[in-house]
Amino acid sequence: MDPAIPAIAAEFIARQRMVVVGAADDDGAVWTSALAGPEGFVEATGERTITVDRVPAGSDPLAGLFDTERDLGMLAIEPATRRRMRVNGGARRIGDRLEIRTEQVYANCPKYIQARTPEAVATRPGPGTARASARLTPEQQDWIAASDTFFVATRAGELGADASHRGGNPGFVALTGDQGLVWPDYLGNSMYMTLGNLELDPRCGLLFLDWERGRTLHLTGTARVDWDPGRAAEVPGAQRLVRFALERAVQIDGALTLRWAFGGYSKFNPRKETP
C-alpha cells in the first residue's frame, strides 16, 4: 500500500458525491460519519494530500475534532459502479475544509456493494435534529434489521484509523437486544484491516445510512471477533461472526444532502438457505 495518490485514484476521488470517514474522539471512542457534496468536493491536491470541501459539523460525533491533526480512515465509495477506495492517514481542519495527509491509498474488491444512484437535494446539509442515547430505540432496531449496508471504523494505536464497508442482503445484521449487534464476516480481499485492528483495540464505530431520507445513525462501542467455526456455519456465507456491544448511539435527521435510488443487490450477497 503506497502513501502516494495514483492518477487513477485522483480521478476516482474527484467524481465522488460522498465519502465515509472514521476517527477516535478525545476519549478514545471511535465514530464513523459521512460527508456529501457535488462532484469535485473531494480532490487530490498533492501527491499525498486530499482536500474535502466539508468538515464534520453540527451534531456530528466527529465535529470539532480536527482542529489538530488526528488519525483518519476514509472510504470513497461509488455504489452505482460498485467501486471503492480506502485512504488512511492524518487529517486536520483548514478553515471549512478537511485536509488529509495520506499514508495508505488502495482499492478494494466490489463484493457486497448494493447499486445505488445519488440524487442531489441541497447544496449543503442543514443543522439536522440529533438524538443521543445508550440504547437503540425500536425504530432504530427496525432500521438496522432492514439494512443492506453499513460502514465500520476502527483504530489501533500507532497503526492509525481505517474505514470500511459491510454489505449483504437485508437482515444480514442481527440484533441481540437494544445494545448488541452481530454480523457475518464474508470472504473479501483478505487484508483483515478491520479484524486486525479489532484484535488490537476493540473500540469501533458503525454508521447506518437512511439512503432515501438522508438520516444517519452513528453507533460507538466495542466489537470482538467470534472465531468459532460452528457458530459461523449457522450463517450462510460467514467465515466468522463479529459481535458489537453498543455504548452510545446518535441519530441525526437531515444529516446528508443526497438521496439514493436503489439499483439492485450485489450478486455476491449470500442468500439464506430455504428448507
The 3-class SS string of 2-14 reads ECCCCHHHHHHHH
* 75/86 Cα distance (integer angstroms): 5
Q: Name beta bridge partners: 259.
A: 119
List pLDDT tens digits, range 12-61. Answer: 999 999 999 999 999 999 999 999 999 999 999 999 999 999 999 999 99
Strands 258-264 and 149-155: unpaired
**pLDDT for residue 81 is more than 90:** yes
Considering the chain, what percentage of its residues have pLDDT values greater than 90?
A: 89
A 10 A CB-CB count for 36 gives 24
The answer to whether 72 and 86 have CB atoms below 8 angstroms apart is: no
**pLDDT at position 13, please?**
96
pLDDT tier at 188, thresholds 50, 70, 90: confident
Give the number of other Cβ atoms within 10 Å of residue 2's Cβ: 12
If pLDDT is split at 50, 70 and 90, which confidence band does 126 have? low
SS3 195: helix
User: Does residue 271 surpass a pLDDT of 50?
Assistant: yes
Distance between CA atoms of 275 and 266, rounded to whole angstroms? Answer: 23
Instruction: Show the DSSP H helices in 5-80 as ranges.
Output: 7-15
Task: Give residue 104's pLDDT.
Answer: 94
Residue-wise pLDDT tens digits, 150-176: 999 999 988 899 999 999 999 999 999
Residues 6 or more apart from 267 whose CB is under 8 A from it?
none
Residue 274 has pLDDT above 80, yes or no: no
pLDDT score at 275: 47
Quick one: CA torsion of 114, 182, 135, 177, rounded to 10 degrees? 120
Q: What is the pLDDT of residue 122?
A: 58
Q: Average the pLDDT over each of 65-79, 82-96, 187-201 and give the range with the smallest value.
A: 187-201
pLDDT of 125: 57
Res 194: pLDDT: 94
Q: What is the DSSP letter of 28?
A: S
Q: Is 211 exposed, middle or buried (0-12, 13-18, 19+ CB in 10 A)?
A: buried
Q: Are 208 and 150 in contact (CB under 8 A)?
A: yes
Computed over every residue of the chain, the mean pLDDT equals 94
Domains and CATH numbers, the chain: 7-262 (2.30.110.10)
Mean of pLDDT values over 93-117 = 95
Share of the chain above pLDDT 70, in %: 95
**CA–CA distance, 176 with 163 (Å, rounded to integer):** 24
**pLDDT at residue 119, rounded to an integer:** 87
The residue assigned the cell 454508521 is 207
Query: Residue 124: is its pLDDT beyond 60?
Result: no
Return the pLDDT at 272. Answer: 74
For the cut 60, the answer to whether the pLDDT of residue 107 exceeds it is: yes
Q: Could you give the CA distance from residue 165 to residue 109 in angstroms, rounded to a whole number?
A: 11
d(CA 85, CA 77): 6
Q: Please list, in sequence order, all residues whose beta carbon lies within 8 angstroms of the beta carbon of residue 88, skipping any fewer than 6 positions away.
A: 71, 72, 73, 74, 102, 103, 104, 160, 161, 162
The residues near 192 (Cβ < 8 Å, ≥ 6 apart) are: none
In single-letter form, the type of residue at position 170 comes to: P
